[in-house]
Amino acid sequence: MYVCIIRKILIVCLVYFLNFSEGAAQSSMDLRLIMKSVYQNNPSLNAAREEYNQLLELYPQAIAGWRPDIDAEASLYHMDIDNSNFGTADGATTKNFTISLEQPIWRGGRTTAETEAAKRRILAGQARLRSAEQDIFYDVIQSYVLIIRDQHLYNLRKDYVDLLLQEHAAAVEKEELGLFTITDVRQASARLSRAISSLIQAKNNLAQSKHDFTEVTLLSVTDIKDFPIVTFIVPADKNALINMALESNPELIAAEYDRAATDYNLQATQSERFPQISGFASANKQFDPQPGVVDETRANTIGVRARMALYQGGALNSRIRENHHRIAYQEYQYETIAQAVKQSVLRDYDGYIAAKALTERRQEEIKATYTVLEGVREEVNFGQRPFLDILDMDEEVIESRLELVNAQTEEILAQFSMARTLGLLHSYSMRLAFDQM
């Protein structure tokens, strides 16, 4: 019950995040509309849907075992008979028409097992479709957030270059007045060259992030301004988090249904050892039947048939053993996935907590470094400190601001990675498939 309540809260928070994104960025790219476009147009997601649609056909194929087979047959043939026992009847051109029906009565439980197996495979396919949606949606969110990160980093690098240009110009001016030495000017030049190199790299990183975004979304980047505000409530109890992941992770759900489907496949295979009982009926009409004595005949047949396989060269026993091995394999596979899900959600949770704490510390650090920078500038102006101290403090301030952007990025991505592990980052949770989007 507690897990269900927390899950509903998390879904509401995700929907709130998407709704906020629309109102906060009317003049920029709306993340919710981007994800809706991806939901409708992404080729990988469309391929996953078609794969799921294939699985949906397993059910009508399975329930066909409850229904009769009806066949119609028509033939035309000529026969010549020598020395016929019917005098002058020496053969004819026969027109034969037959309609037949066979209705399964008992197949040893095979049809029931095949129907249940089809249901489980469809449910497994549905879970895999949700997993595919989650992976693609996370890639979209990640590429969106990384563009914002790299845009901020580029802006900070650019501001830092502009600041160092001012510092370099001031150093040259003061060197001409005899207040600074040529070493101070060269130190400013060195810092400026290094900052320009970092700016070039930041510009390239931003361009690569935009290419990655276009590759995932098939959309061109127009204007993405700031990090989305994410309201994502995470239970403090790690056990509740693990239980939620084990109940809702789509990969784990798919593995569980796969295992159940194989159990039913085993039952269907074992049922082939039992008699297969069916009822049959047919109606036949022949025109000019052999040997040509009468003009037409009619024959109606009805009965019950039982078949039982006595020996199939060992193939049946081999398929039974194969299903047993597949069940064992899927049990191990389920345990492997469950362990991976546990570790993933804990890793995401710890990463989120660490990034959140780091964001708070970086904000405090920036406030402190700005205060120190002002003091250092005053001391340099009074000749109490060398010019190099200003350059060092400028670099410390910019590095703190860069690290703050990185920490904010990690905090946001950790939350969405955790949402993916918890099975919340799919179309139904975010209402992408409904008209109110």
Q: Does residue 46 lie within any of the structural domains?
A: yes
Give the span between the Cα atoms of 298 and 161, in whole angstroms: 100
Q: What are phi and psi of 41, to 5 degrees?
A: -120, -10
> CB neighbours (10 Å) of residue 435?
5
Residue ranges of the alpha helices (H) in 25-109? Answer: 31-41, 43-56, 58-63
Domain assignment present for 90: no
Bridge-partner residues for 94, per DSSP? 77
172 falls within a domain: yes
Q: What are φ and ψ of residue 169, in 5° steps?
A: -65, -40
Q: Is residue 101 part of a domain?
A: no
385 within a domain of the structure (yes/no): yes
Please state, in angstroms and rounded to a whole number, the distance separating the CA atoms of residues 351 and 349: 5
Place of tokens 């394999």: 329
Which contiguous run of DSSP H or E holds residue 299? strand 296-307
Q: What is the DSSP string of 19-30?
A: HHHHHHTTTS--
pLDDT at 17: 47
For 138, the token pair is 């996370």
Q: How is the beta sheet containing 276-287 ordered, strand by strand? A: 69-78, 93-106, 276-287, 296-307
Rounded Cα gap, residues 304 and 331, in angstroms? 42
Gap between the Cα atoms of 116 and 282, Å rounded: 32
Tokens of 207: 């361009």
Which pLDDT value is given to residue 99?
95
Report helix angle 31-41 to 2-24, nearest 10.
Answer: 110
The pLDDT of residue 368 is: 82
Number of domains within the chain: 1
Give the CA count within 13 Å in the CB-facing half-sphere of 411.
21
CATH of the domain at 21: 1.20.1600.10
Distances (CA, A) of 218 to 44, 143, 221, 437: 12, 12, 10, 20
- Specify if 14 maps to a domain: yes
pLDDT attached to residue 123? 96
pLDDT of residue 252: 94
What pTM did the predictor assign?
Answer: 0.79
Q: Which residues pair with 297 in a beta bridge?
A: 286
Residue 364 is encoded by which pair of tokens? 């405090």
Say if residues 18 and 35 touch (Cβ distance below 8 Å).
yes
Identify residue 25 by its one-letter amino acid code: A
Is residue 435 in some structural domain?
Answer: no
3-state secondary structure string across 153-181 = HHHHHHHHHHHHHHHHHHHHHHHHCCCCC
Asked if 118 contacts 66 with a C-beta cutoff of 8 angstroms, the reply is: no
pLDDT of 238 reads 86
269 dihedral zone (left: phi>0; alpha: psi -120 to 50; beta): alpha
Residue 395 lies in a domain: yes
Domain that holds residue 241: 2-68+109-274+312-430
- Residue 131 in tokens: 């997993």
Ordered per-residue pLDDT tens for the chain, 437 residues: 444 544 444 444 444 444 434 333 333 467 778 888 888 899 999 999 999 999 999 999 999 999 999 999 999 988 776 666 655 666 778 889 999 999 999 998 999 999 999 999 999 999 999 999 999 999 999 999 999 999 999 999 998 888 888 777 877 777 677 666 777 777 778 888 888 999 999 999 999 999 999 998 888 876 666 666 665 566 778 888 899 889 989 999 999 999 999 999 999 999 989 999 999 999 999 988 877 677 889 999 999 999 998 888 889 999 999 999 999 999 999 999 999 999 999 998 898 889 889 888 888 888 887 777 677 676 666 666 666 667 767 778 888 889 999 998 998 898 888 888 888 887 666 654 433 33
Distance (Å, whole) CA 12 – CA 422:
14
